[in-house]
Amino acid sequence: MMAWRPSGYMFTTKQLIRAMFDDSTDEAKLLIAATAGEVELFAENKSWNAVLWLIMNVLKEDGRPIYTGNELGELRSSLPIVWR
Please name the amino acid found at residue 33.
A
Asked if residue 1 is part of any domain, the answer here is no
Q: With beta carbons less than 8 A apart as the criterion, state whether 1 and 11 touch.
A: no
| Residue 2, pLDDT above cutoff 70 | no
Asked if residue 2 is part of any domain, the answer here is no
Give the model confidence (pLDDT) of 34-73 as tens digits: 999 999 999 999 999 999 999 999 999 999 999 999 999 9
Asked if residue 40 is part of any domain, the answer here is yes
Asked if residue 17 is part of any domain, the answer here is yes
Q: What is the pTM of this model?
A: 0.86
Structural domain harbouring 73: 7-83
Taking 3-state DSSP, the helix, strand and coil percentages for the chain, each rounded to the nearest 5, stand at 50, 20, 30
Mean pLDDT value across the chain: 94
